Amino acid sequence: MPRRPRTSEPTLPLINIVFLMLVFFLVAAQVARPLDSELNLVKTDDPAIVPPADALVIHADGRTTWRGEAREPSEVIVALQAEGYDGPARILPDRDAPAHAVLAAANALRTAADSKILIVTERALQ
């Protein structure tokens, strides 16, 4: 009885695919803008919250920034509308931000664009 030649497992293509997936996820993780290192977000229990890239950031001293630059809330809405964004306006307040600064920013965003305002927070670990 003649022996059949043994065929090897196709492991090289599998290794290539896994390597390409690894590179993809490493690159995708670097695309998102990191938050300011001095920013401490408010904590909540909602696990579905993901910090958005185009949110108005309110720092502990009350100043507001957008995409790393000092901006007023009304300027943010104008810039977002110019880019074609018509979703809800997002605010990322520092945990130590004064409440009057958060309310003033929310009122300014609501006045500038008649849209929903979302305050983005961090999930608390229990």
* pTM summary value: 0.57
Average pLDDT, the chain: 77
Burial 16-26 (b: 16+ CB within 10 A, else e): eeeeeeeeeee
User: Which of 76, 74, 81 is CA-nearest to residue 108?
Assistant: 74
Q: In 3D, which of 44, 38, 34 has the Cα closest to residue 59? A: 38
Instruction: Tell me which residue of 113, 125, 124 sits closest to 54, measured CA to CA.
Output: 113
Q: Minimum mean pLDDT among 11-15, 37-41, 122-126: which range?
A: 122-126
Cα 121–Cα 87–Cα 116 angle in degrees, nearest 5: 65
**pLDDT value of position 34:** 67
